[in-house]
Chains A and B, each alone.
Chain A
C-alpha cells in the first residue's frame, strides 16, 4: 500500500452532491456496545498505514468536587502514572517505541486520552488502555510528582503569561453562578496541594468505568477485527455505577456583568466578552455555532472587519461558540460565546464596546446577507473536514459526539445543518442571545505603563 495515496472506492469513501453544489464527505463508520457498557466506534481510512484512537470518559472539570478545583485535570495526569502491571513509563515507552504518540485533555464535560501511531502499534495500545481502565497504581510519590508538573503547567500557561488565559478561566467564573460552571478549572494551588491519593481512588471509581466511556478508532483497520480485539481486551473490565448527573443549569442572567483586572505582565489592554449560549439540545444551538463563526472566525469575519480594519479600535479579535475549549458542539451544560480582543493603549474600553455593540445591533436588526452566510457555511464545512482528516482527530470527534449525544450523526451531518441556517435565524438569534443582560465583560489592563512604571491607582 502506498502511504500517501488516498484510495477512492465506494466502500472507503462516499462523496455525494448535497445542498447547493456542496460536497458531502462521509467515511464509513460503525458502532457497537460491549455488555459492560463500553461504546466502540470504528471508522476505516486506508489512506495511510496508521491509526488514531480516542477514549473519552464522561467526566470533565465541571463536575470535579468542591474544594478540589483543578482535580479533573490533575487526575488526567494520574492516568499516565502507571498501573500495577504496567508501571509508570511503560505506556509512553510502548507508544513511542512503536512510532506513535499519546496525550490527554480535560474539558468541561469529558476527559479524553488519545494515541496515534503506525497500525502495527494498535494492539499493544489497546491492551494498555484496557489495563488502565481496570485499576491504577495509586502512588503517593507519583501524585506528588504530577502535582508539581501540573503546577508548572499552570505557571507556564497562566501565571507567567500576559493575560493569564483570563478569557477562558476567569470569564466563565464571572458569567456563571453554580460551582460546576463557575470555578477555577485549572485549579487553585491550595486545592491542588490538598489533593490526596484517596481523592484519586474515589474519582477513578466513580467515573473511569467502561459504561462511562466511548472508545473510537480510526485508520487502516478492518472493523470486524477491531471490534473483536476490543472485545478481547475490554470485555473483562467490570462496569461500575456512576454518580447521577446533577442539574448544572443556571438561572437566567438578569443583568450585564462587568469586571476589571490588572495584569502585571501585559503591555497592551485586552477585553473578553462572553454571552451565555442556549443548551446544546436547543434548536438555537446550531444557529449559535454559525453566528460565532460569522462574527469571529478569520479575516472575513464581521468583528475583525469592523474593529480591526474599519474602526481600528482593536489589534486582534478571536473567539467563537464554546471557544477555545472544543468545537461549538462539545459541551453538555452552560457555555459561552466568547470574543477575545486585544486593543491599543490609546483606545478606551468604552470605544471598543461601543464599536462592538454597533456590529451586534446591526446583526440583530438587519441580519447577515444570504451570500455572507453561504461563505461562512463553506468555511465551516472546510474547517470541519480538516478536523476529520487526521485519524486521531476524527476519533476524538466521534468519541465526543457519542459520549455527549449518544450517536455520531452530528460528526458527518454538521456541515449540512450549518448550510440550512438562514439569515433570519441568525438575526433572531442575535436579538435573543447577544444582548447586554446576557453577557459578561472583563477588561484587563496592564498594571505597568509603557515605561515600566505602575500607573497611579493600579492594583492587582
Chain B
C-alpha cells in the first residue's frame, strides 16, 4: 500500500546508507516492510439530552469493556483555601452513594472484573474501570450511581483524611514527588497549576461539605464525557447509557473554568531541595512549551524525541550508554489544558551531578543550534507513529486518550490528525521548535539531593541557586 509513511521509510533507509555519523547497518539485515499509517479509531458520538457527551468505540472479540468518564475540574479548580482538595476528593468519591456503601461499590465492581479508579489531574477528574463484557450492565449501574449520587460519608472522609496525611508523609520521602511539587511551584507561581498535592495544613481543614460542594460543581452531564471502548454493540450500549444516565440532571450554576494561562516565564535559576542521605541527585529541567492544539506541538514532540524522548536519542546515548551516569533519563513534552512544558529528568549518582548537568545542557543547546540528521528525523517520526499505534491497542489506553482529547477541547479525529502532522514534520519544523523551546538558557532547574553535593556541583554553572519554595 502506498502512503506518506512508505515514502518516509524509503527516505530513511536511503539516508541511513549515507549517514555520516551513524555506523552503517549490518549488510544482511532485512529491510522494513511497508508501514501502515496511523488510523483514527471509528468513534460513534452521541449527545444525550442532558448534555452528556458519549464516545463509543465498538471492538468486538476481546471480551472486555473499558469505561472512562472525565469531567472538567481537577487540582487547579480546588478552592484557594483548600489546596489539594482534589486528592482527597478522588479518594472518597467512590466510597459510598445514597444507595451503596463503600464496600458494596468495591465488591460489585470486583464482581464485574474491575477496579474503580478515580484520579484528579490538574485539569480534570476521571473515573475509570475495565470489566468483563458480560458484566457491563452491572458496572454501568455502579458508575452511574457514583456519578449521580456520591455521598461522601463522614466516616469515609475521616479514614481517607488520616490515610492521605500518612501517604503525604510517605510521598515526601520520594525524590520524584519532591521534585514534581517544587517544579509546579517554581513554574507556575500565583497560578492554580502551582499545586500538585495537599499540605498537612490544608488536609486538616478539609470537610465532607467541601467534597460535596466540589462534587456538585464538577459532576454535571453537560461538562462530562463518557468514553466506552470494547466488546459491545453500539446500539445496545447507547440504550443502556441512556437508561442509566439519561436522568442525570445538569445544574444551572456556572461550570468549572479552565486555569488561566501562566503569564511570565520563570527564572533561569536552580532551585534545590535538601534531601539528607540521598545517594543520587534528581535533576529536572523545564521550560514552557506548546499546548496540545498548537501548530508547533508535533514538531516539538519530534525534536524532543531526537533530543531525549526515546532510547536511541542523543541524551540517552550520551549520559547513559556512553558515560554511565544514569539509568533512566527522560525528556517529555507535557501538556496541561492551559500550559505546556518541555521537561528533562535524570537521577544521577552524587559524584557526577555537575558532569550530568553539563551534558544535559550541552545536548539541549546542540539540539537548538544544529539540524538533526535525516536519519534522526526519520527515526523519531517513525517511532512516534508506531508507538502511538501500539499504545492505543489497549482498550483502557484508548479510552483514556479519547477522554483526554475531549478535555483539551479536541475531537477523536485528533488521533488520525496527529499521525498526519507527525509525518509532515520537516527538518526546518523540528529545528524551529528546537530553537524556540530547547535552549538551556530557557530552563528552570529543580534539583533534589544532598545540599552540599548540589551546591558544590552546580555552583560552577554560575546560575542563582536557592532553596525551592
Contacts and interface: CB of A to CB of B under 8 A. Distances in A.
A binds B: yes
Interface of A: 1-8, 12-13, 15, 21-23, 25, 47-50, 85-90, 92-94, 96-102, 116-124, 127-128, 131, 144-153, 155-156, 159-162, 264-268, 298-300, 305, 308-309, 312, 315-316, 342, 344-345, 374-376, 378-379, 381-383, 385-386, 389-392, 450, 452
Interface string B178-214: 0000000000000000000000000000000000000
Contact of B35 (A13, A116, A120, A267): A120
Contacts of A309: 102-103, 159
A267 B173 contact: yes
Nearest to A299: B106
Nearest to A447: B277
Contact of B167 (A87, A93, A148, A316): A316
A100 B378 CA distance: 13
Nearest to B133: A23
Contact of B277 (A22, A102, A265): A265
A26 to B, nearest CB: 11
Nearest 8 Cβ contacts at the A-B interface: A99-B386, A382-B113, A148-B324, A120-B33, A4-B41, A3-B39, A6-B61, A97-B379
B30 A156 contact: no
Contacts of B170: 162, 266-268, 315, 342
B42, B132, B386, B389: residue with the most chain A Cβ atoms closer than 10 Å: B386
Nearest to A229: B30
21 contacts: A3-B389, A4-B57, A6-B61, A50-B386, A88-B321, A89-B312, A92-B311, A97-B12, A98-B382, A121-B33, A124-B31, A148-B323, A155-B347, A299-B116, A300-B107, A308-B163, A309-B103, A316-B163, A344-B166, A382-B130, A390-B394
Contact of A4 (B103, B115, B398): B398
Contact of B349 (A152, A308, A390, A450): A152
Interface residues on B, range: 35 or more
A300 B279 contact: no
Interface in B161-183: 162-163, 166-167, 169-170, 172-175
B173 A116 contact: no
A90 B111 CA distance: 47
A298 B398 contact: no
Contacts of A267: 169-170, 172-173
Contacts of B175: 160
B99 interface: no
Contact of A160 (B22, B28, B102, B347): B347
B59 to A, nearest CB: 4
Given A47-B393, A151-B349, A376-B110, 11 more contacts: A2-B39, A22-B134, A23-B132, A87-B23, A89-B312, A96-B379, A155-B279, A298-B106, A300-B106, A315-B166, A383-B113
A23 B134 contact: yes
B241 interface: no
B345 to A, nearest CB: 11
A419 B173 CA distance: 41
Nearest to A97: B379
Nearest to A312: B159
Nearest to B57: A4
B348 interface: yes
A118 B389 contact: yes
A88 B324 CA distance: 14
Contact of B26 (A22, A90, A116, A146): A90
Given A5-B59, A300-B109, A162 B173 contact: yes
B34 interface: yes
Contacts of A299: 102, 106, 110, 115-116
Contacts of B173: 162, 265-267
B290 interface: no
Contacts of A99: 35, 382-383, 385-387, 389
Contacts of A385: 62-64, 132
B375 to A, nearest CB: 7
Interface string B60-74: 111110000000000
A114 to B, nearest CB: 12
